[in-house]
Amino acid sequence: MLAETSLDIRTVSKTYQVNDQALDVLRNIDFTVEPGEFVSIVGASGCGKSTLLRLIIGLDTEYHGDILLDGRRIDGPGADRSIVFQEHRLFPWLTVEQNVALGLDASDAPVAIRGQSVAEHIDLVRLAGFEKAYPHQLSGGMAQRAAIARALVNRPKILLLDEPLGALDSLTRAYLQDELLRIWRQQSVTVLMVTHDVEEAVYLSDKIVVMEPRPGRIAGIVPIDLDHQRERAAAGFIAHKERVLHLLNH
């Protein structure tokens, strides 16, 4: 589908001015997300991973270097990128259906098609039957799935996830990790996810970008060449995990 899109992060740096002192939040970030890849960014707090995501989604447009999507410099939010935050951020006064439909608000798809697309994506995240429910009536996991539907309904080229499962309990998290895999494969969308959970990163990703803080920079990139379904207890899994942890803690 849209699996031909590549995201190029080229020598991206960002500096904040705090009390007349320059604070380097990101320094020389360089990596590429290949078409259809599932890439995770892992790092301790303060390493700038969320800042990087905000630059990519376009909520922040001040940085040095280049962020290129399919070779074109991004400039603010666009239909080609979507994001799911750690909090579901669904609007409490709208139903699940209406929230998901908002994802199509800025598109020029005709109204008839929109309804169908909304229904499809609600189905995709397995929330069929909850279209008329309000967010406060959903569990944390269900709400997050609705947020994912809202992010995907416009068929973005790349889906960004900022610690999407961080607020959920471990049982729900494990379930949703598998759901993420399924959705990723079904939609053939490129995914870039930020997480602090190393095991989660190893479970899901094709490669892991490991970052370290002060200033935020890349410590290393670890490719994960395991087949899905991955076994968390398997030797190969543990070996990859060790490698990532090593990079994080050195």
Edge to edge, the sheet with strand 72-73 lists: 21-33, 7-18, 64-69, 72-73
Place of tokens 């940085």: 63
Nearest to 173 by CA among 187, 193, 158, 151: 193
32 beta partners? 8
Closer residue to another protein, CB minimum distance, 101 or 209: 101
Tell me the closest approach of the beta carbon of residue 178 to another protein, in angstroms.
26
Q: Are strands 38-43 and 21-33 parallel, antiparallel or unpaired?
A: unpaired
**Selected range binding another protein among 21-29, 42-50, 83-91, 171-179, rule: CB under 8 A:** 83-91
Closer residue to another protein, CB minimum distance, 89 or 114: 89
Is 36 among the residues that bind another protein (CB under 8 A)? Answer: no
Tell me the closest approach of the beta carbon of residue 90 to another protein, in angstroms.
9
**Selected range binding another protein among 13-21, 81-89, 175-183, 242-250, rule: CB under 8 A:** 81-89
Closer residue to another protein, CB minimum distance, 135 or 216: 135
Q: Are strands 72-73 and 64-69 parallel, antiparallel or unpaired?
A: antiparallel
Q: Which of 5, 82, 190, 195 binds another protein (CB under 8 A)?
A: 82
Per-residue tokens: 143 = 């709400």
Per-residue tokens: 237 = 């899994």
**Selected range binding another protein among 27-35, 43-51, 79-87, 206-214, rule: CB under 8 A:** 79-87
Edge to edge, the sheet with strand 217-223 lists: 81-84, 158-162, 190-195, 38-43, 207-212, 217-223
Is 135 among the residues that bind another protein (CB under 8 A)? Answer: yes
Is 89 among the residues that bind another protein (CB under 8 A)? Answer: yes
**Selected range binding another protein among 41-49, 52-60, 196-204, 234-242, rule: CB under 8 A:** 52-60
Measured from the Cβ of residue 246, the count of other Cβ atoms closer than 10 Å reads: 13
Element (H, E) at 208: strand 207-212
Q: Which residues bind another protein (CB under 8 A)?
A: 57-59, 77-79, 82-83, 85, 87, 89, 91-94, 102-103, 105-106, 134-137, 150
